[in-house]
Structure 1
C-alpha cells in the first residue's frame, strides 16, 4: 500500500497549515465569530453589537463612514455620528453585515494585496449586500444568515489568493480555459474545491454550521423550498453570481444581459423578476462602489441611461443637501489634558441631532435612546466609563443598567447601591435634582461624599459628572461618567446646555412611556 501523500492533498494541507499559523488570522476568526454569534432578537443584542463596534476605533470609524454615504444619510437627513443611531437608522442586520465585511477586508490588508485578492474581497462585499437586499424584500427570518453566508461564499478563493497567489493564478488559468469545469480545475491543483477549502478554515474559526452548509454550490435550476437552510443557500448562490457580474467590468454585454440567465434560474425559487433585481443592483452599487474605489477594483457600470436633461436623485441630493458634520473630522480630534476632545461642543450637538431624529421615529425603543445618550457623553466628553443607573423597585437599589467604555461589563455589575437616603453625592444630586460636574474628585469636600463602594470600584477617578433623572420629583436614577484625569478646563455654558438638552430629550421619552 502506498501511504505517500498526493501532490494535491499536500498542497491543501500546506496551505491550511500556513493559514493556521498566521498570527493575524486567529484574531480575525475570533472577531468574525463574535459578530456572527450576536443574535438579532431582543434589545440586548443591539447593545452588544454597539459595544463590540465601539471597542474597535477603526471599525467604529468605518461603520460611521458607511452610515454617512448618500445611500443612507438621506434617510435621516443629517449625518450619523454615533454607532447607536447607525444601528437604529440602518438596521441591525445591515450594521452586522457591514461590520463583518469591514473585518474581512481589514483582516487581509496585511497580506500581499495583489489585484486578485482585492477583487475577491470586493466580490464578497457585493455578494453580502446583494443577499441583504434580497432578504430585505422577502422579510425572511434567516435574512442575516443569508448576508453572512454570501459574504463567506468566496472565502476559499480569498484565502488561496492571499496565501499562495501562484497557485491561485494557475487554477484561474485552467478555469478560464474551461469555465464549465471550474471544480475539476480546483481539485486538480488544490485537492478540493474552493468552497471545501473555505469550509475548513471557517470550521477552525468556529463559524456556525448553518452558515458553512449554505456555502455549498447549487447546480441546475433550484426549486422553491420551505426549508430555511435551502433558502439561505439559494440566496447565497444567487448573490455570489450577481457579485461576479458586477466585478466583471470588461464584458461587452450589459449587466442586465448578463443577469438575465440568473433571473431565469433563480427567479421562481426566490420570487423576483428583472425589475426587482434592477432595484437590488442599484442599492448594491451605491454601497459597494466606495470600497471598490478604495481597493482600486473597477465595477461594471449599471444600465442607467437617463433621459437628456433628467436630474438623477443622488446627484441632486449631493449638490444641494445642507452641509452637516464631517464625521471623519469629528472622530479625529485633539484633546485637553483630561482627555476631553477640543470639539466637545460639536460632538454634543451631533448627539442632540441624533437623539432628535430617534425621538421622531415610531420605532423608538427607550434602551436605544439611553445607549445613544451614553455613547454621546462618553465620546464627546472623553470619559473612560459611562453608565445609566436606574432604580430597581424589587431590590430597593439603584443598579447600573447600560454602560459603555473601559471594562464596562465588570464595572456595571458592581455599580449599585441602596435606595435608602444617605449623604453620598448620588443621593444629594437626585434629592436636589442638580446636575453635577466634578472637576477634581480629590477635593476633600467631594471625597467626603463619595461612598465606599465607589472608591473601591473606581479608585482612580479624578473627574466625573452626575446627571439625575427625575420626573415629577421622583428620582428614577442618574447618568454617571468619569475620567482618570482632573478636568481643569471646566465646562463652558454651551456644552452644559447641550448636555441638559440630551438629558431632557431622554426624560421626555421616559414620560411618554
Structure 2
C-alpha cells in the first residue's frame, strides 16, 4: 500500500486537538508520489503556518530575538541580558549550575550571572540563555517524539564540543550550540505541527522497505532544514548557527576557513548521534563512524583514534548538560541504545568493561516549569558576597563589581517583592543623579525618565539621602507621610504602592551616588531584618570597592 501526504487533504480544517499525534496518520492517503508532496511549497507553508500560529510562538520568538540581538560591545547589553535571565529563577539556577560544572571549574565557584558573564564572556551566557529558554518551552509539551529529538540534539552537541576540543583552534562552545540546533526545523515541526510530523514519520517507515528509501529521507530532511533556517532567520539567530543547519559538503571539508570546519563538525556530530540511535551492533557503529570521518578526510581522520572518547557518556559534564537542559537521557531512544551498548563493551584484550553508572535523573515529561521557587535569600546574599570578594581580588573594574553587588541585592530580595535595584551616580557636569546600571528593569528605558535633580533646597527623599547622608526606608509609597517627600516625577511612574530603600554612597565624606531599591509594598513583610543587614553589607562593599580603586 503506497502511503503519502497529499496537500489537498492537508488543507482541511481539524476540530480535534492538535497535540494528538496519533491522529496524524489520518492525513495519509493512497497516492503515487510521496516525494512531490513533501517537496511542495504548499506543504512547507502549511507547517510554517502551524509553527507561526502556535500560542507561545510570539512570546518565544520575541524572547529569543531580544537575547540574540544583544551585542557584547554594548555596555547596556550586559545589564539587559542579566535582567532577562534573573527574572526567571529556574533559568538563573540552571545557568549557574552549568557554569560551575567541570568545564568551567578553573574559575572557582561562581554564584552570580554578572560574574559568570564577565568570566565566560557575553556570547557564552547568551547561548546558554536562549538555548535553555527554547528547550524549556519545547519540554513542556507531552510528546512521544520530542524527548528523543531533544536527547539526540543534546548528545550531538556534546559530541561536537568534544570533537572541537580534540581538533583544537576551534571554539568548542560555538560547536556545542550550533550542533544543538542542527535539528531545529525537525524539533519545531514535532512541537508545533505534531500531526504533520507524525504523518512524515509514517511515510518514512512505510517507504523504508521500498527500493529507494533514501530519497524520501533526503526530502524530509531537506524540508526540516528549510523550516529551521526560515524560522531561525525570523528569530534573529546568529548566521553561523543558520549555516550549520545545512549538512556539510564532504568535498569541501578540507577548506581552511573556521566556518566550514564548524559546519563539518556539526554534521559529523549529528550523524554520529543518528548512527548511535539506530545501529545496535557496536562494531558496525564504529565502522560506520570511521568511514564517515574518512569521507570528510583531512583533520577529521585524525579524530578516528578518539572515537571512544568522543562517543562515551561517562563524563560528568554531559550529566550536567542533561540536568541543565531538563533531559532524561536514559529514557530516550538514543540513551537506551547507548546504555545497552555500554553493557557489552570490551577492551582491546577482550575483557568486559563494567558499564559506567550514569546519573541522568531529570524527568523530561514531569511537566516541571522553569519558574521554580526562589532560592534561600541568606544563601544568595552569602554566595554573592563571596563573588564580590573574588571580583575585587581579581581587580575587576568598578562597573562589573557594581553589577555583581546590584544583582546580589536584587536576587536576595526577590522573595520580598523587589522589582528593581538601581545605582545612581552624581553627574559631574550637571546637578543631577544619573542611572549608571539597573537590575530588574531595562537600564536604557529607566534613563529616559529616571532623572534626579540635585539641589540643597530640595526636600525630596533623594536629596535628603544625598545631603544628609542617611539611609531612608519607606514601607509604603501611598502613605500620607511618604507622599510629602516623594518627587512628582517618581510618583507618576509608580503603578502601585511600593516600598523604597535609599542608601547614599559616601566616599571621603562626600556623597557621590545612591543605591535605590524598589519593590511591591504588600511583599515587604517577607523581608527579614537579616536580609536588610546583608543589603547594608553589600552597600558597604560598594563603597570599599570605590575606595580600593581610587587608591590604586
TM bracket (short chain)? 0.7 to 0.9
8 Å CA contact retained: 1:359, 1:509: yes
Q: Provide, for residues 226-265 of structure 1, a one-character-per-residue CA deviation record: whole Å limited to 9, x for no partner.
A: 4354243233323323444665695524987775456555
Matched, 1:394 2:429: yes
Matched, 1:216 2:246: yes
Change (3 A) 1:37 1:258: farther
The corresponding residue for 1:368 is 400
The corresponding residue for 2:228 is 198
Superposition pairs of residues 15-164 of structure 1, within 5 angstroms: 15-67=47-99, 70-71=101-102, 78=109, 80=111, 82-88=112-118, 90-114=120-144, 116-131=145-160, 146-162=175-191, 163=193, 164=196
Change (3 A) 1:146 1:407: same
Matched, 1:500 2:529: no
Q: How many residues align?
A: 481
SS in 2 for 1:108: helix
Q: Provide, for residues 153-212 of structure 1, a one-character-per-residue CA deviation record: whole Å limited to 9, x for no partner.
A: 112322344423433423553796699974x22355x49443234223334445455532
Q: From 480, 494, 498, give the equivalent of 1:462.
A: 498
How far does residue 120 in structure 1 lie from its aligned partner after superposition?
Answer: 1.4
Q: From 345, 354, 357, give the equivalent of 2:387.
A: 354
Change (3 A) 1:257 1:373: farther
Q: Provide, for residues 382-431 of structure 1, a one-character-per-residue CA deviation record: whole Å limited to 9, x for no partner.
A: 31222111123234421112112256653342112234434332233233
How far does residue 56 in structure 1 lie from its aligned partner after superposition?
Answer: 3.8
Q: CA separation in 2, counterparts of 1:139 and 1:403?
A: 39
SS in 2 for 1:510: helix
Q: From 377, 399, 403, give the equivalent of 2:438.
A: 403
Unpaired segments of 5 or more residues in structure 1? 316-327, 334-340
How far does residue 353 in structure 1 lie from its aligned partner after superposition?
Answer: 2.8
Q: Provide, for residues 344-376 of structure 1, a one-character-per-residue CA deviation record: whole Å limited to 9, x for no partner.
A: 4343223223323433435x3433332222222
How large is the RMSD of aligned CA atoms in angstroms?
4.4
The corresponding residue for 1:278 is 309
8 Å CA contact retained: 1:134, 1:280: no
Change (3 A) 1:13 1:279: closer
Change (3 A) 1:458 1:278: same
8 Å CA contact retained: 1:71, 1:286: no
How far does residue 218 in structure 1 lie from its aligned partner after superposition?
Answer: 1.7
Q: CA separation in 1, counterparts of 2:522 and 2:43?
A: 59
The corresponding residue for 2:3 is none
Matched, 1:332 2:362: no
Q: TM-score, normalised by structure 2?
A: 0.71
The corresponding residue for 1:384 is 419
Q: CA separation in 1, counterparts of 2:167 and 2:67?
A: 23
Change (3 A) 1:89 1:397: same
Q: From 450, 458, 462, give the equivalent of 2:486.
A: 450
8 Å CA contact retained: 1:430, 1:468: yes
Q: CA separation in 2, counterparts of 1:267 and 1:243?
A: 19
Q: From 471, 475, 478, give the equivalent of 2:514.
A: 478
